[in-house]
Amino acid sequence: MRLSGFVGSVALLSLLALGTVAPADGEAAKGSKTGGTAFESGAPKPDARPVASQLKVSPRALTAGDAAPRLRFRVRQRGVRAVAARIVVLRAPRNVAVARIDAGLVRTGHLVTAQWPANVPVRAGRYLVRLHVKDPRGRVLRRSARTPGRTRIVVRGRKKARGATSSALPAPAPSPGGAGVFPVAGTFSFGAADGRFGAGRPGHIHEGQDISAAAGTPVVAPYPGRVSAVGYQASAAGEYVVLDAIDGRDYFFAHCIRRSTTVVEGELVAAGTPLCQVGETGTASGPHLHVEIWNVGWRVGGGYPIDPLPELLAWATG
């Protein structure tokens, strides 16, 4: 009987899990007078759930119409020989599935290459690639910050005839997500011209908008989304949080009070969720929040910042 598909692979795994392990050739079963097979007394205890020790897409940033990216993954689960695996590709910001790639039964610990479906064009936009796994007992992938079992792809639009470029996302103002929540939950001001987008800085320009507020004022998420990064830069941004929002853009909040961040990387948050507190860490003079809005993605190939002020003004007066 030939089993096919993800469900069939799981069924076959269940049958494989019922088998016994025989001793190596030339080894008699310990304590056996018949010479029959026996279970290995030293067999490792299986891990409770499989882990995606590797998931790579190459390249992660490409241009629409290019050759499809290569997908590779590796699953580890001690004591389990094979698992059923598939890959789902979702298009942001609505996370609509555009491709499902059934890898069938794969051996644990081995690098597996999956083919991008020939009938799925590589179009401009942002994509989330998720690996789904089931072991012989029906246990699914264990996801963590270090082994999330997912990654992202950014596809840029091709250049037009006169040198203009096609945007991978809708126009930056107004946001595709509608009205957002103002990120400073308290009294604020927009400060002077040197805190605006495009203001001169040594060797670069200011890529965001500064919002002056009292130290300790809560900084909140403008939209629902996933926290894609948290960190600290002593000589630059100070304590910061990056939100990958449902409107398809990334929001960067900097100079928060040291160790005031209340979210972790990978966490899903609702609009208005506290992220950190207004501070003056890093290269900041006085307490304020530095806000950046990035189309395509924060610090990724093809990503670029836009002026946040029109959006912030709309949220503040909405």
Does the pLDDT value for residue 163 go beyond 70? no
Domains delineated in the chain: 5-18+43-156 (2.60.40.1220), 188-317 (2.70.70.10)
301-314: average pLDDT: 88
| pLDDT value for 65 | 74
- Going by pLDDT thresholds of 50, 70 and 90, the confidence category of residue 159 is low
In whole angstroms, what is the distance from residue 18 CA to residue 100 CA? Answer: 29
| Calpha distance 27→21 (Å, rounded) | 13
- Asked whether residue 62 carries a pLDDT value surpassing 80, the answer given is no
The answer to whether the beta carbons of residues 222 and 182 sit under 8 Å apart is yes
More confident residue, 6 or 101: 101
What is the DSSP track for 81-95?
-EEEEEEEEEETTTT
Indicate the pLDDT class of residue 6, thresholds 50, 70 and 90: low
Predicted confidence at residue 276, as pLDDT, reads 98
Angstrom CA distances, 215 to 206, 238, 243, 253, 290, stand at: 22, 14, 21, 14, 13
What is the model's pTM? 0.50
- Answer with the residue of higher pLDDT: 95 or 226: 226
Q: Which residue has the higher pLDDT, 82 or 33?
A: 82
Coil, strand or helix at 250? strand
Coil, helix or strand for 258?
A: coil
Which pLDDT band, with edges at 50, 70 and 90, does 50 fall under? very high
* Sole residue written with tokens 């449902």: 246
Please tell me the distance from the alpha carbon of residue 60 to that of residue 100, in angstroms, as a whole number.
18
What mean pLDDT do residues 247-251 have? 91
- How far apart CA 135 and CA 184 sit, in angstroms, is 46
